[in-house]
Amino acid sequence: MIDAADLVDNDFLRQFELKIDDHLAKIEYSLQERKIFLTKLVVPEEIDSAEFQNEFIKIVFQNIEERSLSVVPTSPEIAKFIRKNKRYKSMLPVGVRI
C-alpha cells in the first residue's frame, strides 16, 4: 500500500514524485492561477500496474484537493481515472468536461 506521506511535490521540476524501492513514479504538471494541468504520468515498468496507478493518482488528487486547486487532466491516463472515479469530477474547472 502506498503512503500519502511518501508523496513529494517537486515544484522545481514541476512533478509529483513517489519513490518505491529504487523506482520513481511521477506525474508532471503545470500550475496556472488556481488550476493544475496534469500533463504526464510516468510509472517504471517494474512497478507499473493498474492498482498502483490508481493509488498514486488518488494520493496526488488528495494533495491537490487540500490546496483547493482545480484539475485539468491533459494526460490520457488521468482523464481515464476521472471518468472511472466520478467523485473527482467536482475538481474540474467550470467548462471542462471529460
Please report the pLDDT score of residue 27 as a whole number: 98
Number of C-beta neighbours around residue 26 at 10 A:
21
CATH superfamily, region 4-91? Gcn5-related N-acetyltransferase (GNAT) (3.40.630.30)
Please report the pLDDT score of residue 1 as a whole number: 62
How is the chain split into domains, by residue range? Answer: 4-91
* Gap between the Cα atoms of 25 and 98, Å rounded: 24
Please report the pLDDT score of residue 34 as a whole number: 93
- 28-52 average pLDDT score: 94
- 40-54 average pLDDT score: 92
Provide the pLDDT confidence category of residue 52 given band limits of 50, 70 and 90.
very high
